[in-house]
């Protein structure tokens, strides 16, 4: 696969690279198989994070022994120095490499978070020392707020930036991508397929590839997803593709779930992330795919206490305290249409959960 220069890091990474968040959702053997398949099909850049549970460990296993043939990035959220150091050491051990190619500060969305990272003797200085020792090669930053990243990049401290960018979320095109290019900062794209909401991943990724020097890292955990995504290398999006992307964009608006699962778990065991995107899922796969187990999940959703725990962790600031109950009700009504419950049963569930009818 064609390689792309990742800004001033001088790392040469595959034009489509590998987002390793989803491998945490499959068993170890499958995760290793998928990562090896990606490598064998030309991907050489793999991005994970300390917060992706088993992802680092499985990536470490899959890439063991490949040395400089692969480039590995991970990231950690900074809350306090003790935890950060511990997370950093855990990542180093999990990845089973002599060094980490790129260590990124994870989800830096606000000024106070950036200030804390850059304070004297803080985590940035700590990583600089690790860089001197050769344990990491480059330092980057990630955020879900591209506009805020302008400030971060102007500090001159970061060699790469990672933000969401796709046909719907085009804000980085205005200022961030031009600024990063002018400063020779590598641009890594998270959410290139916006959590799988487009009619076709191939179309969505081929659109991103029209922007030179921008490296998409679609999340993958299945061989078919890799094959599908790789098709984006074959051709630029044609007029019909662009028309479809536009139609997808119009349908979705901007307030939609990207499947990142940062909002999970819910202290009350409600499947909040599934519930808020279930309308989108069943619309795609067919309402007849709804089952008893889904009805159970939506019924449980009615017991949401609106505590806001999930909402505070959603990087897209989706109003989950509203959405979880509203979508649960909507989906239960769809369940009635599918013959999975009756109107009387829905009314009973609403009464028990003390949820009002609309
Ligand atoms: S707002 Fe509802 S779904 Fe979210 S964490 Fe609280 S109880 Fe769970
Ligand atoms: S609701 Fe927010 S945090 Fe949860 S999966 Fe969707 S985008 Fe991610």
Is the previous residue joined to 265 through a cis bond, with omega within 30 degrees of 0?
yes
> What would you measure as the largest C-alpha separation in the chain, in angstroms?
68
User: How much is the pLDDT for 19?
Assistant: 97
The domains of the chain are located at 3-238, 272-352
User: How much is the pLDDT for 142?
Assistant: 97
C-alpha span between 16 and 208 (Å, rounded): 10
Q: Please state whether beta strands 3-5 and 18-19 pair in parallel, antiparallel, or not at all (unpaired).
A: unpaired
DSSP, collapsed to helix, strand or coil, labels residue 3 as: strand
Burial class (CB in 10 A: 0-12, 13-18, 19+), 104: buried
C-alpha span between 264 and 262 (Å, rounded): 5
User: How much is the pLDDT for 79?
Assistant: 84
- Which of 262, 264, 271, 272 to mutate to test ligand 1, by most ligand atoms within 8 A of the CB atom? 272
User: How much is the pLDDT for 281?
Assistant: 83
CATH architecture classification, 3-238: Alpha-Beta Barrel (3.20)
User: How much is the pLDDT for 177?
Assistant: 97
- Residues lower than pLDDT 70 in the chain: none
Q: Quick one: which H or E segment has residue 139? A: strand 136-142
Q: What radius of gyration, in Å, describes the C-alpha atoms of the chain?
A: 21
Burial class (CB in 10 A: 0-12, 13-18, 19+), 183: middle
User: How much is the pLDDT for 273?
Assistant: 93
Contact 162, 142 (CB under 8 A): yes
Q: How far is the CA of 320 from the centre of ligand 1 (A)?
A: 8
Tell me which residue has its CA closest to atom 2 in ligand 1: 304
Binding pocket residue ranges, ligand 1, CB within 6 Å:
266-268, 270, 272, 304-310, 320-321, 324
DSSP, collapsed to helix, strand or coil, labels residue 11 as: coil
pTM of the prediction?
Answer: 0.83
User: How much is the pLDDT for 83?
Assistant: 92
User: How much is the pLDDT for 159?
Assistant: 98
What phi and psi, each to the nearest 5 degrees, are found at residue 131? -65, -40
- Which of 19, 197, 263, 301 to mutate to test ligand 2, by most ligand atoms within 8 A of the CB atom? 263
Q: How far is the CA of 222 from the centre of ligand 2 (A)?
A: 21
Tell me which residue has its CA closest to atom 8 in ligand 2: 260
Number of residues that this document lists for the chain:
358
Binding pocket residue ranges, ligand 2, CB within 6 Å:
257-263, 273, 276, 314, 316, 318, 320
User: How much is the pLDDT for 283?
Assistant: 79
C-alpha span between 172 and 166 (Å, rounded): 9
pLDDT digits (tens, 9 = 90+) for 114-129: 999 999 999 999 999 9
Bridge partners, residue 18, by sequence? 46
User: How much is the pLDDT for 197?
Assistant: 81
Tell me which residue has its CA closest to atom 8 in ligand 1: 266
Q: How far is the CA of 264 from the centre of ligand 2 (A)?
A: 8
């Amino acid at each position: 696969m064609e390689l792309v220069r990742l800004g001033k890091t001088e790392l040469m990474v595959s034009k489509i690279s590998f987002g390793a968040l989803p491998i945490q959702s499959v068993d170890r053997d499958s995760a290793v198989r998928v990562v090896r398949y990606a490598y064998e099909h030309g991907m050489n850049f793999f991005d994970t994070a300390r917060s992706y549970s088993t992802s680092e460990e499985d990536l470490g296993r899959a890439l063991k022994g490949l040395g400089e043939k692969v480039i590995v990035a991970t990231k950690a959220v900074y809350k306090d120095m003790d935890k950060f150091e511990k997370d950093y050491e855990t990542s180093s051990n999990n990845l089973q490499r002599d060094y980490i190619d790129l260590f990124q500060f994870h989800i830096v969305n606000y000024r106070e978070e950036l200030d804390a990272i850059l304070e004297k003797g803080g985590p940035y200085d700590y990583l600089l020392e690790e860089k001197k020792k050769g344990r990491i090669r480059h330092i980057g930053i990630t955020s879900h707020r591209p506009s805020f990243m302008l400030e971060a990049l102007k500090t001159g401290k970061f060699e790469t930036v990672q933000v969401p960018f796709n046909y719907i979320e085009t804000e980085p095109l205005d200022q961030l991508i031009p600024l990063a290019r002018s400063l020779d900062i590598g641009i890594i794209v998270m959410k290139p397929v916006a959590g799988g909401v487009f009619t076709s991943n191939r179309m969505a990724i081929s659109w991103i590839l029209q922007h030179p020097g921008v490296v998409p890292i679609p999340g993958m955990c299945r061989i078919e997803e890799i094959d599908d995504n790789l098709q984006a290398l074959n051709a630029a999006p044609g007029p019909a593709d662009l028309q479809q992307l536009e139609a997808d964009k119009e349908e979705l608006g901007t307030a939609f779930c990207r499947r990142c699962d940062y909002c999970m778990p819910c202290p009350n065991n409600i499947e909040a992330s599934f519930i808020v995107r279930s309308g989108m899922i069943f619309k795609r796969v067919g309402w007849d795919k709804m089952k008893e187990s889904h009805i159970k999940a939506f019924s449980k959703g009615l017991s949401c206490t609106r505590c806001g725990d999930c909402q505070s962790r959603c990087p897209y600031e989706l109003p989950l305290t509203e959405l979880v109950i509203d979508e649960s009700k909507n989906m239960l009504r769809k369940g009635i249409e599918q013959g999975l419950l009756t109107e009387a049963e829905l009314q009973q569930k609403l009464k028990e959960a003390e949820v009002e009818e609309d």
